[in-house]
Amino acid sequence: MRMFIGFFIPALLGFFAVASAQLPPEIIADKYLMQAEQLHAKKDYVAALNMMDKAIALQKEHNLTLPVEFPFKYAQVAFSVGSMQTALDAVSEYLSVGRESEFYKEALALLIEIEEEIKKFEFSLEKTCDGKPLRSSCWMVLASHPECYVWESEYYDGQTVTWSGACSGGFAEGEGTLVENHTSEYIGVRKIELTGRLQSGKMHGQWIIRTHHGRFGTAIEKGPYVNSRRHGHWAFLYGESEFGNLDSEGSYVNGKQHGHWVLRSRDGRVGGGSYVDGKRQGKWTEPHGSGQWEGSYVDGKHHGEWISLSLDGTLMHKVTYVNGEQQWPDN
């Protein structure tokens, strides 16, 4: 009996697939439009737009006539996924029918919304990455969404960015993963995967960042953003990668390290010190392969006497700095 059922179900599914394919094109188009309406009600706007695109493809292939209100419905969905130019073209096509159209007032209201979003978008994009110097903060177009932008805190030449989530109003939006790729002479191809939530193209809330440094391995960073600036408790984990040998954790305030930070070596030794407005300040202890360095910083620069101690506490070296410059004894 089980063998019979196992044979019957695939055969039945195959029958329905063939039967569906034999329907007249206009019926299939109506089915696509109904599915699009259901997906739109579930707020799955990307899938709804894809279904409507299938109906358009059938229309062109078989010279079908789609419902009069189709351009308006298409504009609504395109607006929901952030394709402003597509939405503008579709709603303009619908309004060209005249004031007698069924959704005339709704279409006018949508047109106003689209134009307002485009104005905001164009104003924001005065700071695009085009022509900006390296490491600038700017709006970058997504390779995966040509009509969509994300805020890039440090722009690199030849960098590309993709986004797995949605777009709204011309900006990356919601939960997803950003993938950044660029090449440098020192480490070769560098790939960064950033997973978290975007609001109007900017990072908000908790994020996990995995940086693949080519032959040097992978580093992981975890912490919160506010308006694409690090703010709150962060941790940097290098693991077995060759790009760094000290894990660290501490706080950011408005994009800058501030307060006490802890350094941990791979063998469990602990050091650290304080940051003030992004610069190391005061006494620090820094573990290294054969021991640790101890000394002070002033405005992010070594200053005063620094000593190097072995793992058993034996003094190995003494070095004096003035404003970051090592001082050498007179001969």
Which pLDDT does position 223 carry in this prediction?
Answer: 96
Report DSSP letters for 178-214, one per residue: EEEEEEETTTEEEEEEEEEEEETTEEEEEEEEEEE-G
Closest CA to 234 of 192, 262, 213: 262
Which pLDDT does position 37 carry in this prediction?
Answer: 92
Distance CA 206, CA 324 (A): 35
Q: Please list, in sequence order, all residues whose beta carbon lies within 8 angstroms of the beta carbon of residue 222, skipping any fewer than 6 positions away.
A: 206, 207, 208, 209, 234, 235, 237
Contact 53, 84 (CB under 8 A): no
Which pLDDT does position 116 carry in this prediction?
Answer: 84
Closest CA to 219 of 204, 230, 234: 234
The verdict on pTM exceeding 0.75 is no
Which pLDDT does position 11 carry in this prediction?
Answer: 43
The neighbouring-strand residues paired with 168 are 171
The neighbouring-strand residues paired with 137 are none
| Mean pLDDT in consecutive groups of 10 residues from the start of the chain, 331 residues | 40 45 86 92 86 91 91 90 80 89 91 82 63 76 88 83 88 92 69 91 93 79 92 87 77 95 92 96 93 96 96 93 88 50
- Centroid of chain to Cα 77: 23
- Centroid of chain to Cα 110: 28
Closest CA to 143 of 169, 131, 157, 161: 161
In Å, what is the CA distance from 178 to each residue of 272, 298, 316?
Answer: 31, 37, 46
Structure tokens at 92: 């303009």
3-state secondary structure of 238: coil
Which pLDDT does position 264 carry in this prediction?
Answer: 93
Q: Are strands 166-168 and 188-199 parallel, antiparallel or unpaired?
A: unpaired
Which pLDDT does position 234 carry in this prediction?
Answer: 97
Does this chain's domain 20-123 share its CATH topology with 250-331? no
| Homologous superfamily assigned to 20-123 | Tetratricopeptide repeat domain (1.25.40.10)
Which pLDDT does position 34 carry in this prediction?
Answer: 94
Which residue type occupies 172?
A: A
Domains in the chain: boundaries: 20-123, 137-244, 250-331
Give domain 250-331's CATH architecture. Single Sheet (2.20)
